[in-house]
């Protein structure tokens, strides 16, 4: 048995990932995917998403495919912004409080909710280690998130993130101050960075 040519072409065009929705849009039944998995032609990587057996999964990218509202934040954003070289054991995302994390992701990541009017501040796109594009908060928003959630972050990660940001050539202290003011953490951010900058 071989993969249908249309399905294979869609897989290859989509970073070797295809969704059950795409398969249905091509005019095939979702059951065909189960047959392909049983035959070893595809591997199910998340609910509704499939890849080729020899593909290396880009878990950040597949996680982001579950909802366009997912933004990598906190420790995950530290990593994507190059402020940390430590990949988080569990990915941390942020979503607007008027939406909910898809049920298929519950227990697979840590989700923070933020007021919809604060959701877009610092929202940018970054490349994963595999070259796929995902939503991520920029460095300045990430520092604010770290300060706001300090009690939930281990001390080593927190201090390394602050120090690495302070040493970064790409830091924007004016933008950081603006975000810190909006998130009501300006005095704390000044305290942490004042010694380092």
Q: How confident is the model at residue 195 (pLDDT cuts 50, 70, 90)?
A: low
Reported residue count of the chain is 197
Q: How confident is the model at residue 192 (pLDDT cuts 50, 70, 90)?
A: confident
Q: How confident is the model at residue 196 (pLDDT cuts 50, 70, 90)?
A: low
Domain boundaries defined on the chain: 5-57, 60-194
pTM: 0.83
**Residue 159 CA to its chain's centroid (Å):** 22
Q: Is 58 left (phi over 0), alpha (psi -120 to 50) or beta?
A: beta
**pLDDT the model gives residue 47:** 81
pLDDT > 70 fraction of the chain, expressed in percent and rounded: 98
Distance between CA atoms of 61 and 135, rounded to whole angstroms? 9
Strand, coil or helix: 154:
coil
**pLDDT the model gives residue 14:** 81
| Higher local confidence (pLDDT), 123 or 66 | 123
DSSP per position, 182-194: HTT-HHHHHHHHH
Segment 46-75 shows an average pLDDT of 89
Mean predicted lDDT score pLDDT of the chain = 90
CATH hierarchy code of domain 5-57: 1.10.10
β-pairing, 49-51 with 123-127?
Answer: unpaired
pLDDT in tens, 91-106: 999 999 999 888 878 7
pLDDT in tens, 25-41: 999 988 899 999 999 99
**pLDDT the model gives residue 36:** 92
Burial class (CB in 10 A: 0-12, 13-18, 19+), 56: exposed
**pLDDT the model gives residue 180:** 95
Segment 61-89 shows an average pLDDT of 91
DSSP per position, 47-66: TTEEE-TTPPP-HHHHHHTT
Segment 135-156 shows an average pLDDT of 94
Residue pair 96/114 in contact (Cβ under 8 Å)? The answer is yes
Q: Which of 177, 178, 148, 179 is nearest to 161 (CA)?
A: 148
Residues 6+ apart with CB under 8 A from 44: 33, 37, 50
Beta bridge partners of 133: 127
Strand, coil or helix: 94:
strand
pLDDT in tens, 162-173: 999 999 999 999
> Which residue carries 């602050």 as its tokens?
162
Whether residue 197 has pLDDT greater than 70: no
Whether residue 126 has pLDDT greater than 80: yes
**pLDDT the model gives residue 89:** 82
**pLDDT the model gives residue 92:** 95
């Amino acid at each position: 048995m071989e993969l249908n040519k249309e399905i294979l072409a869609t897989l290859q065009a989509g970073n070797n990932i295809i969704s059950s929705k795409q398969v249905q849009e091509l005019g095939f039944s979702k059951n065909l995917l189960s047959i392909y998995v049983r035959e070893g032609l595809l591997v199910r990587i998340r609910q509704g998403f499939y890849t080729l057996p020899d593909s290396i999964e880009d878990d950040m990218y597949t996680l982001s495919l579950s909802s366009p509202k997912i933004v990598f934040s906190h420790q995950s954003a530290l990593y994507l912004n190059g402020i940390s070289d430590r990949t988080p054991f569990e990915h941390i995302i942020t979503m607007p409080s008027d939406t909910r994390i898809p049920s298929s992701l519950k227990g697979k990541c840590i989700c923070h909710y933020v007021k919809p009017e604060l959701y877009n501040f610092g929202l940018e796109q970054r490349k994963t280690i595999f070259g796929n594009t995902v939503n991520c908060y920029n460095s300045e928003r990430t520092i604010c998130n770290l300060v706001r959630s300090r009690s939930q972050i281990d001390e080593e990660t927190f201090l390394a993130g602050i120090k690495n940001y302070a040493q970064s050539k790409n830091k924007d202290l004016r933008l950081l101050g603006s975000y810190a003011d909006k998130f009501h953490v300006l005095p704390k951010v000044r305290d942490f960075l004042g010694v380092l900058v």
